[in-house]
């Protein structure tokens, strides 16, 4: 037998026959993620059930010099959950999907990293007074796992303008190092602490080594987060951002975003859709509530939350005063009247808004999220437009229309995430 076969047998002895496979259909299905680009096929796929099995698998991988690719549900856009080149072991962590502890006294939840963001938030909403994680994962939160979100510094699934990236709420990790050693980071690394409560105060921030690492530095198996009571009061509005004689929509909206952020308003979320994205939503009837609206420009929506009606009214007054001062046109208060902000918050739109990139006739969506200073949004918008002009004829040659574009949203304390890329559309 060759080394790959030897490794397979040893791993089979660790996890059992049901939880490891080298069949071609299985290996192929784990060779891609949301970017659809095939770059390599693994030698095998393994589904460990606990950290101890992960540890033994990594020891086998070390023995044979085999690369290991940790994977949740493959909802990322960075290539981190698939092989880059043939070979290796894809380590599917989705069997490790339990909530292990909810510490209401210190407001910390500890979970296995294979649980999805939506499942975690759903279960937390039924604990005690009802909780959530603040920043509730990426836009793919219905399928994306906790481990994947932490590995990608994810944002976009709600709460980013108030709480930042999901990694901001992480207070500790359990990680299996490439050697197979199992460690804890944060307060739990202290042998005198039985529960995590902060990732700081024990010297260097070792949690940070494994946050945003795309799974390269070790296999995360457990994670602990701050949790927050579900807000009792919330508000939202959606605005049309039109071109003026002096400025295009993206320039106008950037100025407002900066004002909102610098004045530290109680924004839970705010998103901007450029005119091209809005036209696609309307023309292809992806957003049916916008089809009969007279919209010629981009769309900006916000959400805000509060503990009292008085506080909510104050938040809305301050937020909307600035929007009105710059002349943005407000759509009606209901979802049917075009209020995407209400859909985003009340109807789990936070985990659905990116679906438009794969619907309405799109054949392919090549996109990614990048973090940027808010003031640079007009430059990114210009860059995407110039790319479209340079490559439009090439897209036409292969029988597709298409364009490059981006949606931008606010991230605490004062930057944005630009979710953009190129989409090919059926003609």
DSSP 145: B
Q: What are phi and psi of 74, to 5 degrees?
A: 70, 30
Cα–Cα distance measured from residue 171 to residue 166, given in angstroms and rounded to the nearest whole number: 11
Given this model, what pLDDT does residue 125 score? 97
Q: Which residues of 187-211 are buried (b: 16+ CB within 10 A; e: fewer)?
A: bbbeeeeeebbbbeebeeebbeebb
Given this model, what pLDDT does residue 16 score? 98
- Where do the CATH 3.40.462.40 domains begin and end in the chain? 233-426
pLDDT tops 90 at residue 201: no
Contact 67, 91 (CB under 8 A): no
The fold of 3-92 is 3.30.43
Kindly state the average pLDDT of the residues 289-298: 88
Contact 153, 167 (CB under 8 A): yes
Q: Which residues of 57-76 are buried (b: 16+ CB within 10 A; e: fewer)?
A: bbbbbeeeebebbbbbbbbb
Instruction: Categorize the per-residue pLDDT at 332 as very low, low, confident or very high, splitting at 50, 70 and 90.
Output: very high
Given this model, what pLDDT does residue 402 score? 65
- Where do the CATH 3.30.465.10 domains begin and end in the chain? 99-229
Given this model, what pLDDT does residue 286 score? 72
Instruction: Categorize the per-residue pLDDT at 403 as very low, low, confident or very high, splitting at 50, 70 and 90.
Output: low
Query: Which of 56-65, 163-172, 391-400 shows the lowest per-residue confidence on average (mean pLDDT)?
Result: 391-400
Given this model, what pLDDT does residue 368 score? 75
Average pLDDT of the chain? Answer: 91
Given this model, what pLDDT does residue 229 score? 98
pLDDT tops 60 at residue 357: no
Given this model, what pLDDT does residue 401 score? 60
The domain 233-426 belongs to what CATH superfamily?
FAD-linked oxidase, cap domain/gating helix (3.40.462.40)
Query: Which of 15-29, 145-159, 381-395, 396-410 shows the lowest per-residue confidence on average (mean pLDDT)?
Result: 396-410
pTM of the model: 0.92
Rg of the chain's alpha carbons, rounded to an integer? 23
Give the tens place of pLDDT for each residue, 13-37.
999 999 999 999 999 999 988 776 7
Give the tens place of pLDDT for each residue, 171-191.
999 999 999 999 999 999 998
pLDDT tops 80 at residue 206: yes
Instruction: Categorize the per-residue pLDDT at 277 as very low, low, confident or very high, splitting at 50, 70 and 90.
Output: confident
Given this model, what pLDDT does residue 174 score? 98
- Where do the CATH 3.30.43.10 domains begin and end in the chain? 3-92
The architecture CATH gives domain 99-229 = 2-Layer Sandwich (3.30)
Query: Which of 47-61, 218-232, 394-408 shows the lowest per-residue confidence on average (mean pLDDT)?
Result: 394-408
């Amino acid at each position: 037998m060759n080394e790959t076969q030897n490794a397979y047998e040893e791993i089979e002895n660790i996890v059992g026959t049901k939880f490891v496979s080298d069949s071609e259909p299985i290996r192929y299905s784990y060779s891609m993620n949301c970017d659809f680009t095939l770059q390599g096929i693994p030698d095998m796929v393994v589904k460990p059930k606990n950290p101890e099995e992960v540890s033994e698998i990594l020891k086998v991988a070390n023995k044979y010099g085999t690369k290991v690719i940790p994977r949740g549900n493959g909802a990322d856009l960075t290539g981190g959950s698939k092989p880059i080149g043939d070979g290796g072991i894809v380590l599917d962590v989705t069997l490790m999907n339990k909530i292990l502890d909810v510490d209401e006294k210190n407001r910390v939840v500890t979970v296995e990293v294979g649980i999805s963001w939506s499942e975690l938030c759903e279960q937390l909403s039924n604990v005690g007074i009802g909780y959530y994680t603040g920043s509730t994962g990426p836009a793919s939160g219905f399928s994306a796992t906790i481990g994947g979100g932490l590995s990608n510094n994810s944002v976009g699934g709600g709460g980013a303008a108030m709480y930042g990236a999901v990694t901001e709420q992480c207070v500790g990790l359990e990680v299996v190092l490439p050697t197979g050693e199992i460690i804890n980071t944060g307060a739990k690394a202290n042998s005198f602490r039985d529960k995590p409560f902060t990732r700081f105060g024990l010297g260097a921030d070792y949690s940070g080594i494994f946050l945003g690492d795309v799974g390269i530095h070790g296999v995360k198996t457990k994670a602990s987060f701050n949790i927050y009571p579900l807000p009792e009061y919330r508000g939202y509005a959606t605005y049309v951002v039109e071109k003026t004689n002096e400025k295009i929509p993206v320039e106008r909206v950037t100025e407002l975003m900066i004002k909102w952020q610098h004045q530290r308003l109680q924004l839970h979320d705010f998103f901007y859709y450029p005119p091209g994205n809005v036209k696609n939503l309307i023309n292809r009837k992806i957003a049916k509530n916008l089809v009969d609206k007279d919209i010629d420009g981009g769309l900006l929506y916000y959400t805000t939350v509060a503990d009292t009606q008085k506080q909510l009214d104050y938040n809305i007054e301050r937020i909307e005063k600035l929007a009105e001062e710059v002349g943005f046109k407000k759509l009606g208060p209901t979802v049917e009247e075009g209020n995407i902000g209400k859909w985003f918050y009340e109807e789990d739109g936070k985990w659905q808004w990116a679906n438009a990139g794969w619907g309405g006739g799109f054949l392919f969506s090549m996109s990614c999220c990048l973090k940027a200073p808010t003031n640079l949004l007009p430059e990114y918008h210009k860059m995407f437009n110039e790319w479209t002009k340079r490559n439009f004829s090439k897209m036409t040659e292969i029988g597709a229309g298409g364009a490059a574009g981006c949606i931008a949203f606010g991230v605490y304390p004062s930057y944005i995430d630009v979710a953009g890329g190129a989409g090919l559309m059926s003609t």
